[in-house]
A and B are shown apart, each in its own frame.
Chain A
Amino acid sequence: MASLGSIRRSFAPWADPKAKPYIRFENVTKRFSDFVAVDDLSLSIYEREFFALLGASGCGKTTLLRMLAGFEQPTSGRILLDGQDLRGVPPYRRPVNMMFQSYALFPHMTVEANIAFGLKQDRMPKAEIAERVRQMLKLVKLEPFAKRKPHQLSGGQRQRVALARSLAKRPKVLLLDEPLGALDKKLREETQFELMDLQHDLGLTFVVVTHDQEEAMTMADRIAIMDKGRVLQVATPAEIYEAPASRFVADFIGSINIFEGSLVKESAGMTEIRDTSGADFRVAAPARAAPGDLVWLAIRPEKMRVSRERPPEAENALNGEVWDIAYLGDMTIYNVKLDDGRIVKASMINSMRRLEDALTWHDRAWISFPADAGVVLAE
C-alpha cells in the first residue's frame, strides 16, 4: 500500500506541460431543447488517470460521460480521444466502455454470458473468450457465480458483474456512472479501494461520475467540480480541499467557515481583511483582488481552535459563546456564536483536546486560527 501511495504522489501528468492529454473536451456545449446541460466546457484527462466528475444532480456530469460514451452528441465543440475526433463515431466503435449506474445487466443471460457479450461481439475465438471470462470472474471474485442469472445475485455481486463486463474488452477508458451509488455504506468503502487497486493494476484511464464528495476524494487523482454545466475547478483532492477556487467549491467540499469582508491591503505575502463586523484578519494567502474589493476568507473548521483564553500566539481570534457541541468520538465539533449572531464552526481532534480546557454549553470562548489557515476568495 505504501508503494502504491508513493506512485500516486509522483503521478501528475497534468503538471507536465509536455504531457499530451488522452481525452480532451474542447468548448463542448450540449443543449436539450432549451436546457443547457453542458456549457462551453473544456477539460483534459490524462492516460492512466483516475478522474472524477463531481457535482450535484443536474450539473451535467452524466451528460458529459454519455457524450464520451457516444450516447449523446455535443451540440457544439469537439471531443478528442487519443488525438482522434469522436464526432460521428457510434458507441459500438469507441474504445471506451461504460459501467452503468443501474448496471444494465442482461437479465436473460448468465453472469458468464454477460461478461462474454462484448467479446463475442468482437468475434474473439471461443477458447480466448472462455479464458478472458475466467480471468474477469477471478478479478471480481465471482468464480462460483458464473452460471447464475443476474436476479440471483446480491447488489454487490451485480455491481461486480457490471464491472467485469465493462472491463472484459480491455477498453482504453472505463467510464463509471455512479459506480457505487446502489451499495450500502460499508460495501461502498471496501469497493472504493478495490476500484483504485484495479485501475492501478490494469493501468487504465477511469472517468467516474459521482455526487459523493467522499468517494471522489478517496478514489480520484483529480476531481472536476461541476455546476450548471460548467467546470468550476479541476485539481487534486488536496488542492480542492485546501485551496478551493471559489466560494461554491469551498462550500461544496466538506464544511467551511466563510467570512465576508473587504481587502485592506496585501504586502509581503500577508493579506489584511476587515470583515463585515469590523474584525481584522491577517492571513498568509494571496488575495487576487485590489484594496477595497469584496473578498471572502474561508477557513476549514479543523484549522480553528477553541479555547477559554485567547492563545497568545494566535494571529486571529474571535470571541463568542459556545452554542453547540457535537461529540463524534474521534473529534468534537464546536459551534461558537459570535456577538453579532454569526455561527463559526471548529472541529478539534479529541486526542489533542486538553481535558482541563473542557468547554461546555454557553461558556465564553475564543475561536482562533493562525495566519496560514485560510484562503482568500475573490469570487
Chain B
Amino acid sequence: MRKLVSGLGGRAVIAVPYLWLFIFFLVPFFIVLKISLSQVTIAIPPYIPVFNWQDGLAGFFQKLGALSLDNYLWLADDPLYVNAYLSSLRIAAVSTLLTLLVGYPLAYGMARAPLAVRPILLMMVILPFWTSFLIRVYAWIGILKPEGLLNQFLMFLGIIDQPLVIANTTTAVYIGIVYSYLPFMVLPLYATLEKMDYSLIEAAEDLGCTPLAAFWKITFPLSLAGVLAGCMLVFIPAVGEFVIPDLLGGSGTLMIGKTLWNEFFANRDWPVSSAVAIVLLLILVLPIVYFQRAQARAQERAG
C-alpha cells in the first residue's frame, strides 16, 4: 500500500516538469512546426492555412493537405540562409574555444585558491547575472566604440594614435559572447576541478612529470567532463544568439538569429522564419544528443 502511494507520489513529482515541458515547449514547437509548413499571406495571422474548430474533420484533412515543405526548399535554395547558418556555427565555435581558453585558467585558479576565498571568487563569477544582460551588452558599446573607454585608454597610454575599429565588427561579437557566456564555462569547469584530488598531481610529479606535463596528462583529461559541459552550455545558445550580434556586430556579421528576426519582423514572413527556427533547432539537437550520450557513457564508466 505504502509502495503504491509512494509510486503515485513519485509519478506526480515527475509529471510536473513533464507537463511544464509539454505546455511550454512541445506545444509551441508543434505550432511553429505547423507555421513553417504554411504559406505566407497578407492577413491576420499572416499565413495560410489556418486551422479552425468549425472546419470539421473533412476541412481539417483538406487543410492538412495544403501544408508543404516549400519553405525548407526555399532555405536550402538561398545561399543567404546556408551562409547564415554556417557563419553562426563558426562564430559560436570560435567563441566557445575563446571562452574555454579564458575560462579554464580562471576555473583552475579558483579551484586552487585557499578554501576560505573560494566562495568569494565563485560569487564574483555569478555577480554579473545580477545586472540585466542587455545593459551589460550595451556597456560594451560604450567600451568598444571609436571614442569609447578602451580607445581613449590606449591612446592615453600612447600605444595607438588612431582609434581601433572594434565596435560593429565580428571581433566585437566575439568579445561580447566570451564575456556574456564566461560564467557558463567557468562554473562546470570549477565544479570538476575543485573535486579533483591534488595528490594525483603530486603523484605525477613524483613519477617524473614537470608541473606542465602533469597538467596535460592528469588534470586536463580528468576535467574533460567539465570542459564538455561548459562548451555545450556556451556553444548551444551562442549559435542562436541575437542580441550580441545585433548590438555589437556590424553589417558583416551574419548570424542566423539576426536573419530570423529580419524574416519575422521586417518581412513579416512567419512561415519562413518558423522554418529557420526549426532548422536551427535540429542543428542544435544533434550536439545535445551527443553530449547526453557522452555523459551517459561517462557515468557508466564511473559506476
Q: Which residues of A contact B (CB under 8 A)?
A: 69-71, 90-92, 96-98, 100, 102, 104-108, 117-118, 121-122, 149, 151, 165-166, 169
Contact A92 B203 (CB under 8 A): no
A359 to B200, CA, bound (A): 58
Contact B208 A106 (CB under 8 A): no
Known contacts A102-B197, A106-B218, A108-B222; A121 and B207 CB within 8 A of each other: yes
Number of A-B contacts (CB under 8 A): 59
B residues less than 8 Å from A96 (CB atoms): 206
Determine which of B204, B205, B217, B221 lies in contact with A90 in the assembled complex, contact meaning CB atoms within 8 Å.
B205
Determine which of A70, A149, A165 lies in contact with B207 in the assembled complex, contact meaning CB atoms within 8 Å.
A165
A169 to B301, CA, bound (A): 29
B202 interface contact, C-beta 8 A = yes
A92 to B202, CA, bound (A): 9
A105 to B203, CA, bound (A): 8
Contact B208 A169 (CB under 8 A): yes
Q: Which residue of A lies closest to B196 (CB)?
A: A107
A269 to B75, CA, bound (A): 109
Contact B202 A91 (CB under 8 A): yes
B127 interface contact, C-beta 8 A = no
A98 to B208, CA, bound (A): 11
16 A-B pairs, CB-CB below 8 angstroms? A90-B205, A90-B210, A97-B206, A98-B206, A100-B203, A102-B199, A104-B199, A104-B203, A106-B200, A106-B204, A108-B221, A108-B222, A117-B217, A118-B207, A121-B208, A169-B207
B213 interface contact, C-beta 8 A = yes
A91 to B302, CA, bound (A): 30
B209 interface contact, C-beta 8 A = yes
Q: Is the interface of B mostly helix, strand, loop or mixed?
A: helix
Contact B202 A97 (CB under 8 A): no
B residues less than 8 Å from A108 (CB atoms): 221-222
Least distance between A172 CB and chain B CB atoms (Å): 14
B residues less than 8 Å from A117 (CB atoms): 204, 207, 217
Q: Which residue of A lies closest to B210 (CB)?
A: A92
B residues less than 8 Å from A98 (CB atoms): 202-203, 206
Determine which of B197, B208, B301 lies in contact with A118 in the assembled complex, contact meaning CB atoms within 8 Å.
B208
Q: Which residue of B lies closest to A93 (CB)?
A: B208
Which 10 pairs of residues, A with B, have the shortest CB-CB distance?
Answer: A118-B207, A121-B208, A104-B203, A104-B199, A91-B205, A92-B208, A92-B205, A98-B206, A104-B200, A100-B199
Contact B197 A97 (CB under 8 A): no
Q: Write the B184-212 contact mask toward A (1 if CB under 8 angstroms, else 0).
A: 00000000000001011011111111100
B residues less than 8 Å from A105 (CB atoms): 203
Q: Which residue of B lies closest to A175 (CB)?
A: B206
B residues less than 8 Å from A151 (CB atoms): 302
Known contacts A104-B197, A106-B218, A107-B222; A121 and B209 CB within 8 A of each other: yes
Least distance between B299 CB and chain A CB atoms (Å): 13
A residues less than 8 Å from B203 (CB atoms): 98, 100, 104-106, 165
Contact A121 B213 (CB under 8 A): yes
B residues less than 8 Å from A100 (CB atoms): 199, 202-203
Contact B205 A104 (CB under 8 A): no
Least distance between B113 CB and chain A CB atoms (Å): 17
A97 to B206, CA, bound (A): 6
A108 to B216, CA, bound (A): 13
A residues less than 8 Å from B221 (CB atoms): 108
A104 to B207, CA, bound (A): 12
Least distance between A158 CB and chain B CB atoms (Å): 13
A151 to B298, CA, bound (A): 13
Least distance between A168 CB and chain B CB atoms (Å): 8
10 further contact pairs, Cβ within 8 A, besides A92-B208, A92-B209, A106-B204: A69-B206, A100-B199, A100-B202, A104-B200, A104-B202, A105-B203, A117-B204, A118-B208, A122-B208, A165-B203
Q: Counting chain B CB atoms within 10 Å of each CB, which of A69, A90, A91, A102 scores highest?
A: A91
A299 to B217, CA, bound (A): 56
B residues less than 8 Å from A166 (CB atoms): 206
Contact A92 B206 (CB under 8 A): yes
A11 to B205, CA, bound (A): 33
A residues less than 8 Å from B209 (CB atoms): 92, 121
A18 to B154, CA, bound (A): 70
Least distance between B164 CB and chain A CB atoms (Å): 43
A185 to B288, CA, bound (A): 49
A residues less than 8 Å from B197 (CB atoms): 102, 104
A151 to B301, CA, bound (A): 9
Least distance between A66 CB and chain B CB atoms (Å): 9
